[in-house]
Structure 1
């Protein structure tokens, strides 16, 4: 079942009742002139089991401990945003699988050659997907991207990811002064927001598959709690890039990250992907990817299942 993404950008009370997330507006709750019957009918409820991602984007949002507990028990990823409405925090369940301890051990015991092979597969899939987006939204030659994808060695020892990225970002957006930089000019703001949503979806998928998001197959930043999520999301990044390209093509003003733009970016979990020869929403595809990664750690598979654009 496709899990829902809920975004809250205004003051709201979130609580739990009968396994439902109860959503109340403060101006209704605090208004003593309104009858209780009206207040009850103004409540909105959502089944907890249907929710996959919750985005909290306002300083006056109140959420009860019971609601948090129920969301995390159902493997929901909860994102909090800063004063600039950019995702700043991510809360995930500690236990997402019944054989968690065994899976942790298999992940920890993975050999270096296996990790290098998995990174090779990851970068190959990423460059191939980047080539598709570049061909779709620019007039430049993309044969070099396909050649680089085919030439990726174990562990990407020749650093073709960086070479492909330089070519990709130079040609994807025909915007004067644009470079891909977290603090750079728009549409970096759209990319940052989209990648944050994607990261949460991937981190959630890893936890559900019983893996530690902290221990990467390539990224090993001691200050990064989601190294494995950053690894696994690489072939999925072009889906965000394609969405952002489409938004720009619509002619929208993207200098500021408005609620309308966020609404489009929050469709990332349900973007259509092709994985294992079938069409799937992105969140479902991520689950297949993380499940296949666990099987690589356990020795059942030798290849991660990544989407193809």
Structure 2
């Protein structure tokens, strides 16, 4: 794969890699050149660890949106052995922002629900940049209910900036359909594994995000609102998006500590956009472990576990005024 266009914080790494590529292209390198190549490889690895171990939330957002980052279609090709797509919501149309169908993960047959953004402009227009309409969420739910009928586990790959906010979508019940999906997914009597592979924006992500095991790739985010949307509301301008990103606490590390997700899936050094195959291998391993664990639960245990998981999110403790005053005094 050719080197991707670097993000600002990747520029020093990219410059070194360009130099390394130039040295390695020499036909008969001298011993001095070979030593320089070895040292440069060590320096690139060190710099990658330094940069990517210390990314701030806004930089994570930029990585989650990277043009070269693997999309759902890439994971369908690299993780699953076969995929038979199912179309339509039986009511209005086939929303291409959400792909649904039968898939095979090693020896396990699953129902795959995936939000697809598209790679180039033509694909992005076809898939509406991954922003689903109500018919997309209806399609997803009907396929989940089909999976439960045939005893198939469900895998949801989440990658959207949010549900489509257009007038037509609202007229066809966008908010209602997302809320309906939340309720009905909590009742689907088969294992559900959800993974945020890029952006996990607001109700658009949550509409296929109620699962028994919820994971995120390392450089993805999962938030009630985009940083730009938050900045526009709180600071009246999108230029404060980086400030909003810090305040929202939406990275995998934060959400794991809050108990909102169950796992952060590591990405290769330098991010998923640099090594699709290794990222896909990490995702596949995580899916296999999660499905194996969930398969040991019967339907009653599964639904009780799922209900309890989401019911406890946002739990808080109340203290008396006296206790607060005493704590402040100490």
TM-score computed with the length of structure 2 as normaliser = 0.27
Larger Rg: 2
